[in-house]
């Protein structure tokens, strides 16, 4: 798509409207097993990450698991 020449402010507003939206936050659960770091696949819902975190914490201990946000 080609933009017409116009005032700078109009051009900037049009250009920003065409940009892709910012992606949503990705979450990952990370935990330690025998001193080695393990991680889950990327999750997109906080509820899923929280549920997985609670499962991992009951299995490996509360201090050995965290939620990582990107």
Number of other CB atoms surrounding residue 45 within 10 Å? 11
Yes or no: say if 67 and 25 are a contact pair by the CB < 8 Å rule: no
- CB-neighbour burial class of residue 27 (10 A; exposed 0-12, middle 13-18, buried 19+): buried
Q: Where are the domains of the chain?
A: 23-69
What tens digit of pLDDT does each residue of 17-64 get? 666 667 788 999 999 999 999 999 999 999 999 999 999 999 999 999
Q: What beta strand segments (E) does 1-53 contain? A: 27-33, 36-39
For the question of whether the overall pTM of this predicted structure is more than 0.75, the answer is no
Classify residue 53 as exposed, middle or buried by CB count within 10 Å of its CB (0-12, 13-18, 19+): buried
């Amino acid at each position: 798509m080609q933009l017409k020449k116009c005032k700078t402010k109009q051009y900037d507003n049009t250009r920003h409207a065409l940009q892709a939206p910012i992606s949503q936050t990705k979450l990952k659960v990370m935990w330690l097993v025998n001193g080695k770091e393990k991680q889950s696949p990327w999750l997109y819902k906080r509820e899923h990450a929280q549920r997985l975190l609670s499962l991992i914490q009951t299995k490996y201990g509360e201090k050995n698991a965290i939620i990582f946000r990107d």
